[in-house]
Structure 1
Amino acid sequence: MTRDGVDGLDRAVIHALQIDGRAPFRRIGEVLGVSDQTVARRFSRLSGAVGLRVLALTDPAVLHERQWVLRVRAAPEAAAEIAEALARRSDTSWISLCSGGTEIVASACGDGVESLLFEALPRTRHILDVRAHEVLHVFYGGAGQPFTKQGPLTETQATRLARHAPPVVGPPPKMDGTSCRMLEVLRADGRASIDELTAATATSASTVRRRLHELRAGGVLHFDVDVDLAVFDVPVRTMLWLTIGIDELLAAGTALAASPEVAFAAGVTGTSNLFASVSTRDTSALWQFLTSFVGRLPGVRDIETVTALRPVKGAVAFFPRPPTRASRHAPPRAGPPRGPAAR
Structure 2
Amino acid sequence: MIRDEESESADLDVLDKQIIHALVTDARVSFAALAGILEVSEQTVARRYRSLRRRGIVHVSGQMNAVPLGVARWVIRLRCLPDRAMQLAESLARFPDLSWVTLLSTGSEVTCVSRPRTAERRDALLLSTLPRASQVTGMVAHEVMCHFPAADEWPRFGELLTEQQRAALGPPRQRRGFAADAAVELTREDERMLSILARDGRAPYARIAAAVGWSPARVARRMAELAAGGVLYFDLDFATTRMGFAVKGALWLRVRPGSLDAVGRAMATHPEIAFVAATTGPTN
TM-score over 0.5 for the pair: yes
Instruction: Select 2:155's aligned residue among 136, 141, 148.
Output: 148
Could you report, residue by residue, the CA deviation over 1:294-342 in whole angstroms, capped at 9, with x for unpaired residues?
xxxxxxxxxxxxxxxxxxxxxxxxxxxxxxxxxxxxxxxxxxxxxxxxx
Residue ranges of structure 1 left out of the alignment (5+ in a row): 274-343
Q: Which residue of 1 aligns with 2:248?
A: 237
Separation in structure 2 between the aligned mates of residue 166 and residue 147 of structure 1, nearest angstrom? 13
Q: Is the contact between residue 170 and residue 217 of structure 1 (CA under 8 Å) also seen in structure 2? A: no
- The amino acid that maps onto 1:122 is P
Q: Is the contact between residue 25 and residue 172 of structure 2 (CA under 8 Å) also seen in structure 1? A: no
* Length-normalised TM-score, structure 2: 0.86
| Paired residue secondary structure (1:140) | coil
Separation in structure 1 between the aligned mates of residue 232 and residue 125 of structure 2, nearest angstrom? 25
- The amino acid that maps onto 1:132 is A
Flag the 1:248–1:121 CA change in 2: closer, same or farther, 3 A. Answer: same
* Length-normalised TM-score, structure 1: 0.72
Q: Which residue of 1 aligns with 2:122?
A: 113
Flag the 1:108–1:12 CA change in 2: closer, same or farther, 3 A. Answer: same
Q: Which residue of 2 aligns with 1:67?
A: 73
Pairing 1:227–2:238 present: yes
Pairing 1:136–2:142 present: no
Flag the 1:8–1:37 CA change in 2: closer, same or farther, 3 A. Answer: same
Flag the 1:161–1:122 CA change in 2: closer, same or farther, 3 A. Answer: same
Flag the 1:15–1:189 CA change in 2: closer, same or farther, 3 A. Answer: same
Separation in structure 2 between the aligned mates of residue 153 and residue 65 of structure 1, nearest angstrom? 38
Separation in structure 2 between the aligned mates of residue 139 and residue 163 of structure 1, nearest angstrom? 18
Root-mean-square deviation over aligned CA pairs: 2.5
Separation in structure 2 between the aligned mates of residue 37 and residue 126 of structure 1, nearest angstrom? 46
Instruction: Select 1:174's aligned residue among 178, 182, 185.
Output: 185
Residue ranges of structure 2 left out of the alignment (5+ in a row): 1-7
Q: Which residue of 2 aligns with 1:198?
A: 209
| Paired residue secondary structure (2:283) | coil
By how many angstroms is 1:180 displaced? Answer: 1.6
Q: Which residue of 2 aligns with 1:51?
A: 57
| Paired residue secondary structure (2:82) | coil
Flag the 1:153–1:64 CA change in 2: closer, same or farther, 3 A. Answer: farther
- The amino acid that maps onto 1:239 is A
Separation in structure 1 between the aligned mates of residue 22 and residue 253 of structure 2, nearest angstrom? 33
**Greater share of helix:** 2
- The amino acid that maps onto 2:242 is V
Flag the 1:197–1:172 CA change in 2: closer, same or farther, 3 A. Answer: farther
Separation in structure 1 between the aligned mates of residue 81 and residue 171 of structure 2, nearest angstrom? 49
